């Protein structure tokens, strides 16, 4: 199964219309995105809870790391640089944090609010190597911008 991003965006739009609670939005997106594609082994959000610190938010899959500093791992790099991290081989990423030993590749996208502040990152892990493409990054970024870009 491969994700149909147009259909996924439409579903998420209909489920989240009018919702302004960040955690409710994250929970809905984590669920919908996770179940949209067999490549997605772990799907979840890490929220910015204090300066330079990410804490686990809503997710689907096995347990995740509880706290990730901006200075560590793929999630920290996405938050710190404000750029999507496409990692075809997590073992080759310097400082990768192995929350699950089954993870082979990963995509992490920063989540911005209307003030262009990073409020979280969306982390998707795959048990397949090189599972993510620029198409995934572009489509997921658009969904995140539509869902969270109007929030303060």
Which two structure tokens, joined as six digits, stand for 29? Answer: 């997106």
Helix (H, G, I), strand (E, B) or coil at 18: coil
Q: What is the mean pLDDT of the chain?
A: 94
Residue 6 neighbours by CB distance under 10 Å: 9
The residue assigned the tokens 């992490």 is 108
Query: Which is nearest to 82 in space by CA: 30, 141, 34?
Result: 141
Contact indicator for 68, 33 with CB cutoff of 8 Å: no
Q: Which residue segments constitute the domains of the chain, with CATH numbers given?
A: 5-148 (3.30.450.40)
* Residue 31 CB-density burial (10 A; 0-12 exposed, 13-18 middle, 19+ buried): middle
Per-residue model confidence as pLDDT tens digits over 19-73 = 999 999 999 999 999 999 999 999 999 999 999 999 999 999 998 899 999 999 9
Q: Model pTM?
A: 0.95
Asked if residue 98 has pLDDT above 80, the reply is no
Q: Measured at the alpha carbon of residue 150, what is the angle toward residues 33 and 121, in degrees to the nearest 5? A: 45
Asked if residue 1 has pLDDT above 70, the reply is no
């Amino acid at each position: 199964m491969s994700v149909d991003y147009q259909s996924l965006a439409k579903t998420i739009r209909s489920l989240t219309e009018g919702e302004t609670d960040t955690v409710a939005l994250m929970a809905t997106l984590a669920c919908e995105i996770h179940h949209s594609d067999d490549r997605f082994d772990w799907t979840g959000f890490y929220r910015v809870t204090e300066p330079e610190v990410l804490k686990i938010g809503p997710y689907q899959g096995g347990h995740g790391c509880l706290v990730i500093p901006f200075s560590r791992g793929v999630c920290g790099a996405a938050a710190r640089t404000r750029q999507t991290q496409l990692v075809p081989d997590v073992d080759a990423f310097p400082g990768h944090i192995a929350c699950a030993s089954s993870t082979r590749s990963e995509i992490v996208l920063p989540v911005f609010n209307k003030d262009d502040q990073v409020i979280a990152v969306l982390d998707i892990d795959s048990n397949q190597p090189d599972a993510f493409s620029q198409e995934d990054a572009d489509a997921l970024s658009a969904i995140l911008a539509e869902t969270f870009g109007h929030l303060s």
